[in-house]
Amino acid sequence: MIDFGYSIKADRQINFDTNSKRMLEFVRTAEPSIDWCMSCGTCSSACTAASITDYSLRRLILSVRRGIESDVLNTVFRCRFCGKCANACPRGVNTRNIIYMMQTAATKILNHETLMH
Amino acid sequence: MEAAANLSRMGHTVTLIEKSSATGGRLNQWHALFPSRISPRPLLERLKSEISGNVNVILDAEVTGIEKNDDGYVVDMANNRMITADAILLTSGFDIFEAEKKEEYGYGIYENVITSVDLERIFNTGQPLLTVQGRKPSRIGFIHCVGSRDEKAGNFHCSKVCCVTAVKQAIEVKELIPSAEVFLFYMDLRMYGRHFEELYKDAQFKHGIQFIRARLSEAFENEDGTVQIRIEDTLLARPLKMSLDLLVLMVGIQAPKKKGNIIDLVGIQRDTDGFPKLDDPYGMPFRTGIPGIYCAGGITGPKTIDETLTEARAVASEIDAYLTGMPSFSNFESIVIGL
Amino acid sequence: MKNEGKKRLWQEYQKEIATDNFFYGRSCVRQNFFPGAEQTFLKILRESLNKTVFENPGHTTCTGIGYHCDVVPLNTTMTVVARQFALMTEAGFENFAVSCITSFGLYTEIIETWKHFPETETQTREFLKQATGREFKIPHNLAHASDIIYKLRHEIAAISPYRLVNHITGKPLKVVEHIGCHYSKMFPEKGIGGAEYPYVLAGLAEALGGEVIDYPERRHCCGFGFRQYVIRANRGYSLSCSKKKFDSMEPYKPDVIITNCPGCPYFLDRWQYVVSEMEGKTYGENGHGIPVLTYEELAGITLGYDPWEIGLKTHQVSCEPLLVKMGVAFDPSGKYRGKNNEYLGRPAKPTHLRIDMDAIVLEPSKQPFEVTHD
């Protein structure tokens, strides 16, 4: 193979049509209040983990909706369930259950299990 | 109509000039009013009944000129008709942004791109909502701020009512086609009024409508007629593309720009946003600065129906004060409301 | 797709294009990538259409690449451009025909700057006078060479023996048109058809019988830009931009890509080879890749000029499949022959990209290389 000295860069564009929404369905079945979320970011501003890692619940809920599973797999386990986000949420979303469900889904995916309750 | 009815009740002689063949203006176009989604028909009926018998209504009359003479104003209409008046109230309403101007959205080029006005008309016909190819759409997208908050489109201002209209229409579409996925692409969600925020939450929770903070840069038509859109998911800071069966453009409200429109005919100065420059926007938001000529309703900017009716009653009382304060009070002729 | 909608837009974006008496400003790098292209333009205008096109070999680069790479300051660029105009004025011409799209964008930008900031024009005149003693007039008509070909497209079609049509099936060939970014993205009103649906190449393709296809990434930049590819390690950016376009146009099965910029055909042509080496993927039929032509080369082929003479030899993606589809008469062996029929040798074969006449299916019933007249 010729070494050109450069390479093709991965396409960053989210392909909404082809990304799987299985994680969203999994979480939503258990915790429908995920649909109340308006991405205001109050949760991530209160978040303990967000101060020292790149964990952001606001972003994770969006990633789940867009089918970007890598974001969840890489960061969701940083949550320690302190509960500050649930306290802060202006819409009363059950954030801890959402995070718990995302962690459950992530574990299943990492163990190559099917995403079923 | 509301102003006419009020002025008539106060004892004045009122003529209502209507450009089209029916009174009621935009109310005739809408299917359901936000936020509670009631039909506009009862309101329209009430207004029509209040003016019947006491207001002189001239239909199919386009105003071609307004001149001042010693006695008052002379209003010329098409087909050589003419009427005189002591005071004139302009209630010709606002214009809707022509979506073709946003070339990159493909209105008038791509088949499955329609505007919110088109959608409201489809709701009114009671016909099923189908793509041009005759399929039931499984994915519908609404684009906010088409022609508003957009310098390139010539309208820097926000049109106020389109956000809540989009949410309302999204719910209506979801009720028509429960299996469809509905997406709203917004910059901000201006849910300012009473019960608007509840409508937003209901849209998300009860109806499963998805909100994506993004602005559409270009749309494209695939071979099968579906529309592919190119947006940036701003809250994730990544570009995103998706296919939709139907794209609805929330077209904004703008001041009349066409040649020969009534604002320019009368000689009212325009403000920076194109709407009439108001003499006293806080205290008397219907005074044009020209004695005897007033503006009310959509002509002065984006407005809801309840605001328009309130303004109508306010300006009626102002016109009454103006007329009763005139030296030749006992001899006044008619007040004309132009459209 | 409702074509009336597009046509309405095209009416809104029209501009004046001169049809004769041009001063021609060549591109600095184009002649390295596609040596025959500019010569073909001159031949079409001078010989086939009897127009006057004047050249002054003393003209220089417009410094567009330097300007966009931040190595040439704006004042210098303005003065160099002024000198180009001065050469035009001295030769007695008012119509400037520009070969390169970046030059076109640059000249347009400078003329607009002078219009809005007259002090810069005065300063440029002073600089030019001091440096060279020359004076200039702003061209009465500034047009890109593709605008001129567009304006004369019906005349060209009228005298062309060939068409952008598959000569066996009679079906129009599928054309992807790629417009250089500096043509209309900067000043939409200076481009025919505007920025969203440019018509300058689509018009030419349609006049020659082709079918222009629309694909999602039509407006995407090919990645040429300037400053990023100058450094080798950054070329992945440019490569990925072109690849995004190829992936997007592939399902529409285009027969040819036509462009009007020097850099775009270069990249769209060469990157197909690089993608094939890196990923083993080829676009187009039978692994041949999609031929990329400049608008002059396209006009030249349809006018019946010899494909090798106009420089199709230097294309990485072989143009033979297109020539065979159009029924153009040519000698395949002429590809590797130079002046006086001297054999030039053959370059190494790409690993995946098929080249030359390899695996091109010829219709058995038809005589190959037959000239079909319209």
A79 domain residue, yes or no: yes
Q: Are residues C202 and C333 in the same domain?
A: yes
Q: Are residues C227 and C328 in the same domain?
A: yes
Mutation choice for A interface testing from B174, B205, B245 by most A CBs within 10 A = B205
CB contact under 8 A, B236 and A68: yes
CB C99 within 8 Å of CB C41: yes
Q: What pLDDT score does B336 carry? A: 62
Nearest to C196 among B104, B221, B230 (CB): B104
Determine the residue of chain A that is closest to C237 in CA distance: A9
C67 domain residue, yes or no: yes
* Contact residues, chain A, for C232 at CB < 8 Å: 5-6
Domains contained in chain C, number: 2
Q: Are residues B142 and B237 in the same domain?
A: yes
Last residue of a domain, one of B253, B281, B304: B253
CATH, residue B128: 3.50.50.60
Q: Are residues B129 and B202 in the same domain?
A: yes
Q: Are residues C185 and C319 in the same domain?
A: yes
* Contact residues, chain B, for C4 at CB < 8 Å: 108
Among B113, B139, B93, B138, CA closest to B251: B113
Q: Please name the residues between 8 and 37 in chain C that touch chain B, using a CB distance below 8 Å.
A: 8-9
A15 domain residue, yes or no: no
pLDDT > 70? residue B29: yes
Distance in angstroms (rounded) separating the CA atoms of residues C275 and C352: 10
One-letter identity of residue C273 = Y
Distance in angstroms (rounded) separating the CA atoms of residues A44 and A37: 12
One-letter identity of residue B154 = G
**Average pLDDT for residues B1-16, to the nearest whole number?**
88
Distance in angstroms (rounded) separating the CA atoms of residues C105 and C82: 15
Q: Are residues B128 and B243 in the same domain?
A: yes
Using a CB–CB cut-off of 8 Å, the residues of A that contact C are: 1-2, 4-9, 11
- Put simply, whether C219 touches B (Cβ < 8 Å) is yes
Four-CA torsion B67, B68, B71, B77, nearest 10 degrees: 20
Q: Are residues C134 and C188 in the same domain?
A: no
Q: What pLDDT score does B259 carry? A: 84
Of A36-40, B21-25, B158-162, give the lowest mean pLDDT range. B21-25
Q: Are residues C328 and C193 in the same domain?
A: yes
CB C355 within 8 Å of CB C289: no
CB contact under 8 A, A9 and C278: no
Q: Are residues C179 and C221 in the same domain?
A: yes
A1 domain residue, yes or no: no
CB contact under 8 A, C236 and A1: no
A2 domain residue, yes or no: no
Distance in angstroms (rounded) separating the CA atoms of residues C226 and C100: 14
CB contact under 8 A, C278 and A8: yes
Q: Are residues C181 and C120 in the same domain?
A: no
Residue stretches of chain C with pLDDT short of 50: 366-374
Last residue of a domain, one of B253, B271, B288: B253
Q: What pLDDT score does C306 carry? A: 93
A4 domain residue, yes or no: no
Determine the residue of chain B that is closest to C218 in CA distance: B220
Nearest to B109 among C2, C216, C252 (CB): C2
Nearest to B239 among A14, A35, A91 (CB): A14
- Put simply, whether B213 touches A (Cβ < 8 Å) is yes
Q: Are residues C111 and C249 in the same domain?
A: no
C257: containing domain = 162-341
Q: What pLDDT score does B237 carry? A: 94
Q: Are residues B142 and B167 in the same domain?
A: yes
C324 domain residue, yes or no: yes
**Average pLDDT for residues B180-208, to the nearest whole number?**
95
Determine the residue of chain A that is closest to B209 in CA distance: A35
How would you write chain C as a 3-class SS string?
CCHHHHHHHHHHCCCCCCCCCEEEECCCCHHHHCHHHHHHHHHHHHHHCCCCEECCCCCCCCCHHHHHCCCCCHHHHHHHHHHHHHHHHHCCCCEEEECCHHHHHHHHHHHHHHHHCHHHHHHHHHHHHHHHCCCCCCCCEEEEHHHHHHHCHHHHHHCCCCCCECCCCCCECEEEEECCHHHHCCCHHHCCCCCCCCCHHHHHHHHCCCEECCCCCCCCCCCCCCCCCCCHHHHHHHHHHHHHHHHHHHHHCCCEEEECCCHHHHHHHHHHHHHHHHHCCCCCHHHCCCCEEEHHHHHHHHHCCCCCCCCHHHCCCCCHHHHHHHCCCCCHHHHHECHHHCECCCCCCCCCCCCCCCCCCCCCCCCCCCCCCC
Q: Are residues C26 and C109 in the same domain?
A: yes
Q: Are residues B305 and B263 in the same domain?
A: yes
CB contact under 8 A, C233 and A5: yes
* Contact residues, chain A, for C276 at CB < 8 Å: none
Q: What pLDDT score does C370 carry? A: 40
Q: What is the mean pLDDT of chain B?
A: 91
B180: containing domain = 99-253
CATH, residue C28: 1.20.1050.140
Q: How confident is the model at residue B279 (pLDDT cuts 50, 70, 90)?
A: confident
**B144: exposed, middle or buried (C-beta count within 10 Å: 0-12, 13-18, 19+)?**
buried
CB B227 within 8 Å of CB B246: yes
Determine the residue of chain A that is closest to B241 in CA distance: A15
Q: Are residues B222 and B299 in the same domain?
A: no
CB contact under 8 A, A9 and C232: no
Q: Are residues C168 and C126 in the same domain?
A: no
Q: Are residues C38 and C98 in the same domain?
A: yes
Domains contained in chain A, number: 1
A90 domain residue, yes or no: yes
Q: What pLDDT score does C372 carry? A: 35
Q: What pLDDT score does C374 carry? A: 36
Last residue of a domain, one of B253, B271, B294: B253
Element (H, E) at B294: strand B293-295
Helix axes B41-51, B2-9, angle to 10 degrees: 30
Residues 6+ apart with CB under 8 A from C77: C62, C63, C64, C66, C67, C106, C110
For chain B, the residue count is 339
pLDDT > 60? residue A33: yes
A7 domain residue, yes or no: no
Distance in angstroms (rounded) separating the CA atoms of residues C58 and B72: 74
C31 domain residue, yes or no: yes
Q: How confident is the model at residue B337 (pLDDT cuts 50, 70, 90)?
A: low
Q: Are residues B107 and B181 in the same domain?
A: yes
Of B122 and B1, more confident: B122
pLDDT > 60? residue B168: yes
**Average pLDDT for residues B296-316, to the nearest whole number?**
92
Nearest to C244 among A4, A7, A11 (CB): A11
> Around Cβ B97, how many Cβ atoms within 10 Å?
26
Q: What pLDDT score does B258 carry? A: 86
Determine the residue of chain B that is closest to C216 in CA distance: B220
Condensed to tens digits (0 to 9), the pLDDT of residues B250-266 reads 999 999 988 888 888 88
Domains contained in chain B, number: 2
A79: containing domain = 22-32+40-110
Determine the residue of chain C that is closest to B227 in CA distance: C216
Q: What pLDDT score does A28 carry? A: 95
Q: Are residues C192 and C139 in the same domain?
A: no
